Amino acid sequence: MKTQWTGFQIGNWQTSIDVRDFIQTNYQPYEGDESFLCGPTARTTRLMQKLNHLLDLERQFGGVLDIDTMTVSSLTNYAPGYLDQEDELIVGLQTSRPLRRGVNPFGGLKMTNDACKAYGYTLSDKIKDEFQYRTSHNEGVFRAYTDEIKRARHCGIITGLPDAYGRGRIIGDYRRVALYGIDFLIQQKQADKVRLGENVMLQDNIRLLEEVYQQISFLGKLKEMAALYGYDISEPASNAREAIQWLYFAYLGAIKEQNGAAMSLGRVSSFLDIYLERDIKSGLLTEEAAQELMDDFVMKLRMARHLRTPEYNELFAGDPLWITECLGGTGEDGRTLVTKNTYRMMHTLYNLGSSAEPNLTVLWSQTLPASFQRYAAKVSCDTDALQYENDDLMRPLYGDDYAIACCVSAMRVGKEMQFFGARANLAKLLLMSLNGGRDERYDIQLGPEHAPYEGDILDYDKVIELLDFYRPWLAKTYVNAMNIIHYMHDKYAYEKTQMALHDTKVHRFMAFGIAGMSVLADSLSAIKHARVRVVRNETGLITDFVTEGEYPAFGNDDDRVDNIAKEQVELFYKALCEHPTYRDAEHTLSILTITSNVVYGKKTGATPDGRPAGAPFAPGANPMHNREKNGALASLNSVAKLSYDVCRDGISNTFTIVPEALGHQEEDRYRNLIAILNGYFGQMAHHLNVNVLHRETLLDAVEHPENYPNLTVRVSGYAVNFTKLSPAHQKEIIARTFHQAM
């Protein structure tokens, strides 16, 4: 038994890597309320003032404070950086200075170049030369892309593909570094490598062997990186401060190496609680000191940055990293996984002020302790910084040590990963189906030719037939694009640090997505229940519609349209499953747009539901704005009907309500929010973003951003600082349905 483990309950976790077993044998469930929490220490306040000052400067500099154009981001390429070396309890920055962004051309040199230019910098010749002789992920992908895929991408029927930036959505089990130390992890990987050596040497095995070699190499680099800061992480962490530090180093290594879209943290709070409890019990720490460590840790997370192009920001607005941390949930044995440190993590929103990152995600279970449900509801009402995902739905599928990558993607920590794949635009699928495979905006042939829709009034059955003809084409094109992307990403930008913190044998998901679900459903409903006349342009292309009469719209708990939505989602998922995936990944599907609903809308012509050309879609699985005529619960019920069985990568719903509509008094609001969450998730719905705010607040923040430095708004699976959004995104959020009191 290692001396660092003194005081812990023994278990299987000591002989093989098994973090879950360590948690289960050692954690202390907490059923009490938040009264034990402590405010910020003078040190925390000092550091936070310093950070706020930098954040303010960053805003004034147009969103990017500084770029290091001379150094390629990696684990050991920067001198150690500090916010305040004297004061900090947890150390480590991505580059040598706070909020200075590194460049990461492994995804694609052009993106890096453009991003530097957009903020008035020039990528150094040194790096340009270096990458002249290297293939980036982006180059690899475009060597293999077919013309058909390029056209689909160009027209925006498939958009947001991770073919020019890091794919992300991989969660390293960063806890392993704290619990075992690097040396043990290397030993285990070396043993795996020996075992792989016994296998027949064919493509899959050879590739994996090389990957494990790289993993081992990067575990070594992680040690070197920590050494730059004066820490030796070869051995396990021996106290809480070290546990947080080791874990953070592991995460830091990952974000230095990779600029993936979503770089999620996992599920670390209750793991860390075991260390904090041990130190508190032995008198090493007070509650105030425990909170101070968590505050310092979260400050570091809030400083994580990647360099992006303006086009990227259009898709994923607000400079997000999706440092998603999962809180709560219930164990397989029925004990709550809420610990005191779950509270401490949420309390950072008060000690440091509200914030979009880390992306705090409550795993909601009907059996969560009542006092925790109340605290979560209170934090939502106070900060709008939480999202909720249904633990009772996911636990039977992923066990009790899964986490969420990005917004809504569940995976067992260290055992499963996904190939992220953005989304296909189903509203455009409808339009190209009517136009015989031609794109309605560019008037070019996308898919196979077919006679366009004849006649002036759209007939439901005929339209469905056309959709059935083009859906398989879209699914095939999409799967092919994804297979190419992930083949190349593995080849040219493999996540060495993160995959070193996974089991060598991992289960892979291929995460497809759809956008425009409610536009498609409402359009088909309009075709079926109202009268939709097509409008053709001079070349005969259908570019507009005249819709007469009422039709049931998604979001009113009306089966006539909700069943259409359900059916179309299932059909698309089935169509995807027809096509084999790279590395035999399991097909999954999400209904999630992030903020790309604005861009997708821009790229889509008018639709039969009455939506004008270029108008934004609703985000995720949300009903279209202001078509919900029966109030909030009817809207939630419509979304709850979508089946998680075919959307295992998540169904995102964003819910905004004004405080007065949630109840007169604060306690009423908490109680009512809990009832909404229990009612929604009790129907096996998957995800809910909760905003409790007034439209007027947002309007005022548009006028006076300086008064709202911390205004946090949940959008679609993540939170953003409202003042960091582009005017178009701000406008779209203001236009959303705010559920009002009558």
The reply to whether 381 belongs to the active site is no
- DSSP 3-state assignment of 549? coil
Position 676 contacts other proteins (CB under 8 A): yes
Burial 536-545 (b: 16+ CB within 10 A, else e): eeeeebbbbb
| One of 191, 201, 206, 741 touching other proteins (CB under 8 A) | 741
The torsion defined by the Cα of 188, 192, 194 and 197, in degrees rounded to 10, comes to: -170
What six digits make up the tokens of 270? 């209750």
Q: Is 563 in the site for other proteins (CB under 8 A)?
A: no
Which of 368/464 has CB closer to other proteins? 368
- Cβ atoms 92, 256 nearer than 8 A: no
Listed ranges 66-74, 317-325, 428-436, 666-674: which one lies at the site for other proteins (CB under 8 A): 666-674
Which range touches other proteins (CB under 8 A), out of 494-502, 504-512, 606-614, 628-636? Answer: 628-636
Size of the site for other proteins (CB under 8 A): 28
Pick out residues in 500-559 that bind other proteins (CB under 8 A): 557
Per CB under 8 A, 656 contacts other proteins: no
Q: How far apart are CA 532 and CA 513, in angstroms?
A: 28
Stretch that binds other proteins, among 55-63, 130-138, 171-179, 667-675 (CB under 8 A): 667-675
Smaller CB separation from other proteins, 560 or 664: 664
Q: Is residue 637 at the binding interface for other proteins, with CB under 8 A as the rule?
A: yes
Pairing status of strand 687-692 against strand 387-390:
antiparallel
Report the Cα–Cα distance between both ends of the chain, in Å, rounded: 64
- One of 671, 694, 695, 731 touching other proteins (CB under 8 A): 671
Question: In the complex with other proteins, which residue's Cβ is closer, 308 or 669?
Answer: 669
What's the min distance (Å) between Cβ of 684 and other proteins?
A: 10
**Which of 206, 444, 535, 675 touches other proteins by CB under 8 A?**
675
Q: What is the 3-class SS of 593-642, one letter each residue?
A: CCCCHHHHHHCCCCCCCCCCCCCCCCCCCCCCCCCCCCCHHHHHHHHHCC
Instruction: Please report how close the Cβ of residue 671 comes to other proteins at its closest, in angstroms.
Output: 7
| Cα 33 from Cα 10, distance rounded (Å) | 30
- Comparison of 277 and 557: residue with beta carbon closer to other proteins: 557
Q: Which of 322, 680, 722, 738 binds other proteins (CB under 8 A)?
A: 680
The phi, psi pair for 129, rounded to 5°, reads -65, -45
Q: Does 360 engage in binding with other proteins (CB under 8 A)?
A: no
Q: How far is CA 299 from CA 148, 247, 389, 443, in A?
A: 45, 15, 25, 50
| Dist. CA 257–CA 176, nearest whole Å | 18
Binding mask 155-184 for other proteins (x = CB under 8 A): ------------------------------
Interface with other proteins, residue 634, by CB under 8 A: yes
Q: Judge whether 575 and 475 are in contact, CB under 8 Å.
A: yes
Name the one residue in this structure whose structure tokens are 């401060």.
241
Is there a contact between 636 and 656 (Cβ–Cβ < 8 Å)? no
Give the three-class secondary structure for 71. strand
C-alpha dihedral (591, 593, 599, 605), degrees to nearest 10: 20
Give the nearest distance from C-beta 734 to other proteins in angstroms: 18
By CB under 8 A, residue 672 contacts other proteins: yes
Q: What does the alpha-carbon distance between residue 472 and residue 572 come to, in Å, rounded to a whole number? A: 8
Any bridge partners for residue 567, and if so which?
none
Does residue 695 belong to the site contacting other proteins (CB under 8 A)? Answer: no
- Indicate which single residue of 632, 713, 725, 733 sits in contact with other proteins (rule: CB under 8 A): 632
Q: Is 194 in the site for other proteins (CB under 8 A)?
A: no
Q: At closest approach, how far in Å is the CB of 389 from other proteins?
A: 17
The yes or no reply on residue 633 touching other proteins (CB under 8 A) is yes
Q: Is residue 661 within the footprint of other proteins (CB under 8 A)?
A: yes
Read off φ and ψ for residue 586, nearest 5 degrees: -80, 130
Exposure class string for 627-647: b at 16+ Cβ within 10 A, else e: bbeeebeebbbbbbbbebebb
Bridge partner list, 542 = 536
Residue closer to other proteins, measured from CB, 506 or 674: 674
Residue 117: φ, ψ to 5°: -60, -45
Q: Is 406 a known active-site residue?
A: yes
Q: Show the CA angle centred on residue 740, arms to residues 738 and 742, nearest 5°.
A: 155
388 is a contact residue toward other proteins (CB under 8 A) = no
Measured from the CB atom, the residue of 112 and 556 that comes closer to other proteins is 556
Burial of residue 661, with CB atoms counted within 10 A of its CB: 0-12 exposed, 13-18 middle, 19 or more buried = middle
DSSP label at 236? Answer: P
Q: Which of 116, 381, 407, 647 is catalytic?
A: 407
Given the residues 116, 381, 406, 647, select the one marked as catalytic. 406
In the complex, what is the shortest distance from the CB of residue 716 to other proteins, in angstroms, rounded to a whole number?
A: 21
Helix 175-196, helix 19-26: angle, nearest 10: 140
693 binds other proteins, rule: CB under 8 A: no
Give min distance, CB of 669 to other proteins, in A.
8
Least Cβ distance, residue 689 to other proteins (angstroms):
17
CA distance 335 to 23: 12
For residue 742, state whether it binds other proteins (rule: CB under 8 A). yes
Please say which residue, 465 or 660, places its beta carbon nearer to other proteins.
660
* 663 interacts with other proteins by CB under 8 A: yes
- 10 Å Cβ neighbour count for 286? 12
Interface with other proteins, residue 710, by CB under 8 A? no
Residue 699 makes contact with other proteins by CB under 8 A: no
In the complex, what is the shortest distance from the CB of residue 219 to other proteins, in angstroms, rounded to a whole number?
48
739 binds other proteins (CB under 8 A): yes
310 binds other proteins (CB under 8 A): no
Our finding on whether 262 is near other proteins (CB under 8 A) is no
Q: Which of 56, 567, 584, 660 is close enough to bind other proteins by CB under 8 A?
A: 660
Span near other proteins by CB under 8 A; candidates 46-54, 127-135, 200-208, 624-632? 624-632
Q: Contact at 8 Å (CB) between 545 and 510?
A: no
Q: Does residue 669 interact with other proteins by CB under 8 A?
A: yes
Candidate segments 228-236, 546-554, 670-678, 701-709, binder of other proteins by CB under 8 A = 670-678
Q: Which of 60, 563, 630, 707 binds other proteins (CB under 8 A)?
A: 630
Query: Which one of residues 220, 353, 679, 709 is an interface residue with other proteins (CB under 8 A)?
Result: 679
Quick one: which of 664, 704, 706, 707 contacts other proteins (CB under 8 A)? 664
Beta carbons within 8 Å of 33's beta carbon, 6+ residues apart: 371, 374, 375
571 — phi, psi (to 5°)? -65, -40
Listed in order, strand segments (DSSP E) in 99-211 are 100-103, 158-159
Q: How far is the CB of 549 from other proteins (least distance, A)?
A: 17
Identity at 242, one-letter amino acid code: E
CB atoms within 10 A of CB 11: 14
Residue with Cβ nearer other proteins (209 or 658):
658
Q: How far is CA 560 from the centre of its chain?
A: 32
Catalytic residues: 406-407
Give residues in contact with other proteins (CB under 8 A): 557, 630-635, 637, 660-664, 668-669, 671-672, 674-676, 678-680, 682-683, 739, 741-742
